[in-house]
Structure 1
Amino acid sequence: MTIAWVFPGQGSQKLGMANSLQDLPGSRERFELASQILGRDLWKICSGEVAPNEEIYDLNDTRNTQPALFVVESLLVDDLKRQGRETHMIAGHSLGEIVGLYSADVLDAKTALILLKKRSELMAAAGGGAMIAVMGFDRDELDDLIRETEGASIANDNSESQVVLSGSPEAVRKVADNLKCKRAIPLKVSGAFHSIFMTEASKSFNEELDQVTFQDSQVPVLSNVDPTPTVNGDILKDRLKKQMTTGVRWRETMQVMQNKGITTMVEIGPGNVLSGLAKRSMKGTMTSQISNASDLGY
């Protein structure tokens, strides 16, 4: 059995997602570390215990979502390692890539949380754009419309039949309106993530990345901007630098995993979004989810 660990990104979060993890070794310390870095109680935010009169209280605020998902997913992977579980390949979707780098020992938890605080704040502040998910379409027609429409791009190339458009509100709406598709769903986001609208935010984030040393990975990692497996820390940093302005190439990531002989894909984190994509796209590959303490055997 050849295993890949994958880590989901924003959209997988839900209130109470950390409740079953509170007694895991290191759980309280990890939440305390995150809360200290953020300057607010992340455990209460994950549990929905923070009053709405707090300045930043909503779990769905990207400034909370990103560090919260990191803490939950990192605790799950820590316990898998304690149990002696191993993987042959690692990938993460958007912010999940940073969790993947942590799981591969490229970054430690404190460094990852500091980066995510900066990343989430920059993304929250970079307004002016929109994102629309589209499903059930002709790929050639979509590619033609993207080429013809300035200010629109594919932020998440999730599968042959599911992508997320990103760009100016007028441009992404024009593509969605002219594309023959089954569904087009506007996303409730603060900006056009993974597009040129993130250029200034990306420059600031890269200055933060320049202060960090990336260790070589323990296992091959597939990056969002280039799903070619690598263990080289410098290459992984360079790829992460491009992530905020470049689309997530998840469809190709799944293809690489299949080509490399992955037989089981384990989604580590709340929900089953990546597992669902794999079931439709990676024929013959088994999937499983590790989302709470019971999945770990507790």
Structure 2
Amino acid sequence: MTKTAWVFPGQGSQAVGMGMDLLELPEAKARFQQADEILGWSVAEICQSDADKLSRTLYTQPSLYVVESILADLLKARGQQPDFVAGHSLGEYVALYTADVFDFETGLRLIKQRAELMDSASDGLMAALLGFDRDQLEQQLQQTPDVVLANDNNAGQVVISGKPTAVETVLGNVKAKRAVKLNVSGAFHSPLMAAAATEFQKALDGATFNLAQIPVLSNVDPIPATDAATLKDRLNRQMTGTVRWREISLRMPAEGIGRVVEVGPGKVLTGIIKRTCPELVLENVGSVAELPGNSGDE
């Protein structure tokens, strides 16, 4: 029988108006209200605000967590269940929630602190490269201090992160079809986040993690795991470590996964996975209309 993985997108997938159709459902509306009490601000208001405000790390990460976790709960309530879960950067928190590693409140409180720490990290630059020579890129990264591979999404799409001058140096020395500097506050998934990661470790230490009920493919280690201590350690390393999404994608067929459902706004992850594993069946659930039973899908 074909196995299914649910994957959860991270920062960059947010869109104005996301999750607003969920407010028509009583169970989802209650979850939005719970989130507002924890955060001290309205997720619904932020999701309906202008794109610049929604794209601020402080608001983006908690808002995506809330919307994606509600969609995951609605899928489960309709009898759906994944065999594996994975999430891209902050999406890993939703994956862990979906696997019952922690409850909704624990996850949101962790995301709130993570977002605050990352939002205040002002030193650094991130840039996406598309259509490049990987050997040339790896050589430049080895030769240039203070810049690392932050997101290894697929063979033709990566993100580098580090000190601005170092990132600029690599961009100047690597031929790419397209290079885009990202509008983020700091050098995420790089050693420049070490101070934030140390501070965040305190929050992780105080959070209760349980045995995962569904194997999790983690950003810093794509080998499926269910052990609570292992998953917590991987989550701490995630803030400074590379998002190894290309390896997660390759791991899926090796684990017998034939179907991948992206749970959340947009189609970023299914687009990335398609480049690496075109044989996988890819689906998207980003709204009430796309839930099984609403669109004729079972």
Bin the TM-score by the shorter chain.
over 0.9
Q: Secondary structure at the match of 2:24?
A: coil
The separation in 1 between residues aligned to 2:55 and 2:209, in whole angstroms, is: 29
Q: Secondary structure at the match of 1:270?
A: coil
Q: Is contact 2:22-2:29 (8 Å) kept?
A: no
Q: Secondary structure at the match of 1:26?
A: helix
Q: Which runs of 4+ in 1 moved over 2 A?
A: none
The separation in 2 between residues aligned to 1:258 and 1:187, in whole angstroms, is: 31
The separation in 2 between residues aligned to 1:246 and 1:127, in whole angstroms, is: 18
**1:139 equivalent in structure 2:** 134
CA deviation profile, 1:163-208 (whole Å, cap 9, x unmatched):
0010000111111111011110000000000001100000011110
TM-superposed CA distance for 1:27, in Å, is 1.3
Asked if 1:116 is matched to 2:111, the reply is yes
**1:243 equivalent in structure 2:** 238
**1:59 equivalent in structure 2:** 54
**2:268 equivalent in structure 1:** 273
**1:44 equivalent in structure 2:** 45
- Counterpart of 2:175 (choices 171, 180, 190) is 180
- Counterpart of 1:106 (choices 86, 101, 104) is 101
TM-score, normalised to structure 2, is: 0.96
- Counterpart of 1:195 (choices 187, 190, 207) is 190
CA deviation profile, 1:29-58 (whole Å, cap 9, x unmatched):
211121111111121111128xx9xxxx91
TM-superposed CA distance for 1:96, in Å, is 0.1
Task: Could you tell me which runs of 5 or more consecutive residues in structure 2 were left unpaired when the two chains were aligned.
Answer: none
**2:214 equivalent in structure 1:** 219
TM-superposed CA distance for 1:138, in Å, is 1.2
TM-superposed CA distance for 1:24, in Å, is 2.5
Q: Is contact 1:18-1:47 (8 Å) kept?
A: no
Q: Secondary structure at the match of 2:150?
A: strand
TM-superposed CA distance for 1:25, in Å, is 4.0
Asked if 1:3 is matched to 2:1, the reply is no
TM-superposed CA distance for 1:279, in Å, is 1.3
The separation in 2 between residues aligned to 1:36 and 1:184, in whole angstroms, is: 40
The separation in 2 between residues aligned to 1:137 and 1:259, in whole angstroms, is: 27
TM-superposed CA distance for 1:23, in Å, is 2.0
The separation in 2 between residues aligned to 1:23 and 1:256, in whole angstroms, is: 37
Asked if 1:228 is matched to 2:223, the reply is yes
Amino acid in the other structure paired with 2:287: N
The separation in 2 between residues aligned to 1:147 and 1:91, in whole angstroms, is: 29
The separation in 2 between residues aligned to 1:224 and 1:198, in whole angstroms, is: 16
Task: Could you tell me which runs of 5 or more consecutive residues in structure 1 were left unpaired when the two chains were aligned.
Answer: none
